[in-house]
Structure 1
Amino acid sequence: MLSIISSFGPFVRQYIIVIIADLSLFTSGLGLAWTSPMLVKLADETNPVYETPITGTEASLIVSLAVIGSVTSNFLAAYLVDKLGRKKSILLSSIPRICCYLMHYLATAAWMNYVARILGGFSDGISYSIVPMYASEIASKEIRGALGTLFQIFSAFGILLMMTVGPFMDYYTLNMLCLVLCVVTVVPILFIPDSPYFLHKHGNKNEAIEVLTFLRPSESEVKEEILEYEMEEEVTDMTIKELCKTANLPILKVIAITVGIGVGSQITGFNALALFLQTILASTNSSVSPEIASVIIGVIQLVGSFFTASIIDRFGRKPILSTSIIGVTIGMIGLGTFFYKTSDGDVYGFWNYLPLISIILADFSFSSGVGCLMFPLMAELFDGRSRAIGMSFGVISCFTATFILTISFSSLVNAIGPAFTYWLFSINCVLYFVFILVFVPETKGKTFAEIQVLLGVRPAEQKKCEKEPFREIM
């Protein structure tokens, strides 16, 4: 396969390799949207999948238990990525995902879907930690932003497929389709190279140089990158034990920013919309079909992902993130206003379409900003030795917040009403917007070494890099 890829230019080679790695996120996208059509089928009283329809509590568990799997796998991902490598870890993540859809297919009771969702979440936790990390280490700095956001496009493809065919296929056929796709998409990953940083770190220096020569447009870029690797050669990978022992304040600061990015992305309430989409649309009692609306929203999410990939390396991370949050805020305000208005009775005309318009706005805004950027941005904020542990903290915080959000969403709506729930999310969006403006650094066009200097993590090594001439390394 690499011989075929070599016929293209270096930037195209990088795109092809990252796209192949991102196939694992396509199947994750299927899982993210799985609950939207499936909860409706599982709760159907006229044609239940099991002997009896699932209850509201069982539905909440099916939604939220995937997050438990994601959280538990993240520190394992930090271990695997530095022991086995990025490529082998991505391959390994496919095993629980395949088991997930096999168990969905064989399920005869709710508990079997609980286990399946935990397995799927376990796989997602590894993929969302490692694939953005792999992409950031494969990419040249000029296109690192675009390559980093491609994973969201593939996730959106998976979501769109589930939204499109899920409502119109029966439970067993749909799960078999997902199982086949999981098997098929893992095969090309066998043929891509591992991260050059990992190869160099583990003593395969000649192979690392070969991979970089294959990926980079010039010999000088290869030399510069190998020099950065060599300066990290005597530094061991960061562990939780070392982090607690040394109390490395600059790295703790970066971890705090990463946790803020992860938690903030969830308190906006977007995933409550995504995971309970058809249920929310059905509750609006509008004339718009929930099945058709879910397809429209899936298309919008995909378009948003493509949009960001095309502009990120032109406008930078912070402007896109902050604009994204403004859109989500307006969408949440619109949803709250709709439910407040309908508390007085039926609605007509424009009000009938307000929930769909609001969800589309929130969906496009989140998908074209926070959804695309948060994981690649987390990977950019750390140097090689702390990237695995740093990504684990970021992804765990994100998935933990997702779990709390999804498990409490129905109770929150019942306690304060849907209108005040969505208005609460809009207030959270404003707080997240302020956090991005004040604390999140701009990483556009910077090397990893330059980002570490900006964050105050390793200034001495950067000065050495600037003063020391290139050695003969090739």
Structure 2
Amino acid sequence: MATENEIVRGRIFQYLASVTGALTMMSFGINACWTSPFVTYLKSNSSIIPMTSNEVAWCIISPGIGGIIGAPIAAYFADKIGRKYTILMMAPPVFFSQLSIGYVRNVWVLFILRLIIGVADGACFTVVPMYIGEISAPKIRGFLSSLISFFFVLGVLLINTLGCFLSIFSCSIICASVPAIHFLGFIFMPESPYYYIKVNDIKAAKQALITLRNTVNVEEDLKVICDAVKLEEEMVKNTKFTDIFTVPSNRKAVSIYIILSLALAGCAKAPVLSYTKMIFEETGSSISSILSTIVFCTVELVVMIFTTYFIIDRFGKRYLTIISTAGCSITLFVMSAYFFAKDFDYDVKHYLNWLPLTSLSLYSILFSIGLSFTQICYLSELFPTNVKANALCSAEIFILFINSITVKIFQVTNDEFNSLSVSFLCFSVLCMIMLGFIVKYVPETKGMTLEEIQLFLKHK
């Protein structure tokens, strides 16, 4: 039996492994929002990479396209070479691509470089949650898994802050240090004991557990993992990919996930993150667009931390999703009304200059308390073990595809009507439509075991 001191010391090593592993998500946040501080400059005559509005949109979409490619690649390699080395092999392409961005002078080369980073991002977003879930003790698994979102938002804040003050070249040098630090730190971390057991290397699995738990008394943990892997392999043996859609309970789970994904797309989070600084510039507010952008990203980071500790496990996910979706719809409508009044030369800029920053900050808060995490939480609960791997991979591809479409819709409506009011109004309406579907079809799973959720989906 491990002593309390051994448990604490063991957890410290689990923290180190999770932090160095999740650090790669910073690159995901940087790449996803890289255009935000540079959009106006890239479209200007002084740009070193002159772009049209359409080319900017494709540059924003390219990481999502890469992510669609990276997800199935990671799903394959995670069981072939291990979780750790799948994550590690993504760091060099990200490092060299980030460095190369500082020297790019052609829009399509930039597109390819961001697509390469997107492939690595999609792969890591598939494997890092798997790795952290497998190496962490049950009591701290939820907290360690939340590090993925934390580092993503930290990356968003970093690129928006650096991009407001530094050149593309300087930003590329600094951002390239993130995968380098991740690689140098994570290379010393142990492999997942689950992977070792999958490949019948019990000795290595035991050694990994001794390192992670910081005690030699790991026989009980080892037996639990062996039993879990054996059960999973038996369940997966007779499972087909099409079971996600042909089994009625899985089909119902897919429907719920699609509703939540469309709600996430309807809240316009992808385009708002990609065009943050440009949106604040378009408001015409006397408050600096640089200050507004930094405040907006900082609010999101703070609220995300607060939500992780005080909200996720204390309130029902269904009600949080309803509040979050309704709130996002309202704040997007307020932004639409502001831009509508501004476009018709109403003097709103002088007496409502505080409204854009306030509305988008409230939008960030409301998004963070619900839609930011409920989709992932439901995804981990709705599908049984035998189809979960296929479901996770398919879900990531679907949400990346949907996010790419929302970015393109935002750009096209803005160019077509020459006004952000129409873009915000479209997403506000979509958000409200999806709210109706959430109220009618999305169940509450708080307090239910995974077995009870499956019985619910089977109408038992």
TM-score normalised over the length of structure 2: 0.86
State the AA in 1 paired with 2:36. Answer: S
Number of residue pairs matched by the alignment: 448
CA distance in structure 1 between the aligned counterparts of 2:282 and 2:322, rounded to whole angstroms: 30
**Does the Cα contact within 8 Å between 1:102 and 1:179 map onto a contact in 2?**
yes
Provide the secondary structure at the position in 2 that maps to 1:236. helix
List aligned pairs for 1:7-156, cutoff 5 A. Answer: 8-45=8-45, 47-50=46-49, 53-156=50-153
Distance in 2, matches of 1:15 and 1:238, equals 36
Contact 1:136 1:376 in 2 (8 A): no
Q: Which range moved further: 366-375 or 146-155? A: 366-375
Cα distance change, pair 226–260 in 1 and its aligned pair in 2 (3 A): farther
CA RMSD of aligned residues (A): 3.1
Q: Give yes or no for the alignment of 1:339 onto 2:339.
A: yes
SS in 2 for 1:37: coil
**Cα offsets for 1:423-449 (capped at 9, x unmatched):** 332232234444445544556577xxx
Distance in 2 of aligned mates of 1:219 and 1:365: 45
Structure 1 residues 204 and 322, CA gap change in structure 2 (3 angstroms): farther
* C-alpha distance 148-260 of structure 1, shift in aligned 2 (>3 A): farther
Q: 1:327 to 1:134 in 2, by over 3 A?
A: farther
User: Residue in 2 aligned with 1:228?
Assistant: 228
SS at match of 1:232: helix
Q: State how far apart, in whole Å, the 2-side matches of 1:243 and 1:357 are.
A: 46
| 8 A contact 1:199–1:205 mirrored in 2 | yes
User: 1:140 & 1:323 partners in 2: Cα distance?
Assistant: 32
Give, in angstroms, the shift of residue 30 of structure 1: 1.2
* Alignment of 1:169 onto 2:171: no
Check whether the contact 1:138–1:215 (CA below 8 A) recurs between aligned residues.
no
Displacement of 1:293 in angstroms is 1.1
Letter of the structure 2 residue corresponding to residue 106 of structure 1: Y
Residues 245 and 327 of structure 1: CA distance in aligned 2, closer, same or farther (over 3 Å): closer
| Structure 1: unaligned runs, 5 residues or longer | 460-474
Cα distance in structure 2, aligned partners of 1:124 and 1:38: 21
Task: Show CA shifts across 1:70-97 (max 9, x none).
Answer: 1122222222223233222222222332
1:280: which partner in 2?
279
d(CA) in 2 for partners of 1:208, 1:324: 42
* 5+ residue gaps, structure 2: none
Whole-angstrom CA distance in 2 between matches of 1:443 and 1:221: 28
**Residues 207-286 of structure 1 aligned to structure 2 (within 5 Å):** 207-208=204-205, 211=208, 214-215=212-213, 223-224=223-224, 226-236=226-236, 242-243=241-242, 247-286=246-285
2: CA distance between counterparts of 1:92 and 1:192? 14
* Letter paired with 1:451: L
Alignment of structure 1 residues 317-466 onto 2, 5 Å: 317-345=317-345, 346-375=347-376, 377-415=378-416, 417-440=419-442, 450-456=449-455
Partner Cα separation in structure 1 for residue 383 and residue 242 of structure 2: 14
- The structure-2 alpha-carbon separation of the partners of 1:40 and 1:70, relative to structure 1 and needing over 3 Å to count, comes to same
Does the Cα contact within 8 Å between 1:259 and 1:393 map onto a contact in 2? no
| Conserved 8 A contact 1:69-1:125 | yes
Following superposition, the deviation at residue 101 of structure 1 comes to: 1.0
Show the counterpart of 2:155: 158
Higher deviation after alignment, 255-264 or 30-39: 255-264
User: Aligned-pair distance for 1:8?
Assistant: 2.9
Deviation at 1:398, TM superposition (A): 0.7
Distance in 1 between the 2:123 and 2:8 partners? 30
Q: Secondary structure at the match of 1:87?
A: helix
Which amino acid is 1:21 matched to? Answer: G
Moved over 6 A (4+): 216-222
Distance 1:352 1:297, change over 3 A: same
Partner Cα distance (2:150, 2:244) in 1: 40
Are the equivalent residues in 1 in contact too, given 2:20–2:186 (CA < 8 A)?
yes
Q: Secondary structure at the match of 2:191?
A: coil
- TM-score of the aligned structures, taking structure 1 as reference length: 0.84
Give the direction of change, closer, same or farther, for the CA distance of 1:387–1:257 in structure 2 (3 Å limit).
same
The verdict on how the C-alpha distance between 1:256 and 1:98 changes in structure 2, with shifts beyond 3 A counting, is farther
**Counterpart Cα distance in 1 of 2:397 and 2:244:** 21
Partner of 2:297: 298
| Alignment partners' CA distance in 1, 2:87 and 2:181 | 14
Query: 1:229-262 CA deviation, whole Å, 9 max, x = no partner?
Result: 33223233687x5426993333343344334433
Shift of 1:377: 4.3
Structure 1 residue 386, shift from structure 2 partner: 2.7
Shift of 1:219: 7.4
Partner of 1:472: none
Question: What secondary structure sits across from 2:334 in the alignment?
Answer: helix
TM-aligned CA deviation for residue 402 of structure 1: 0.9
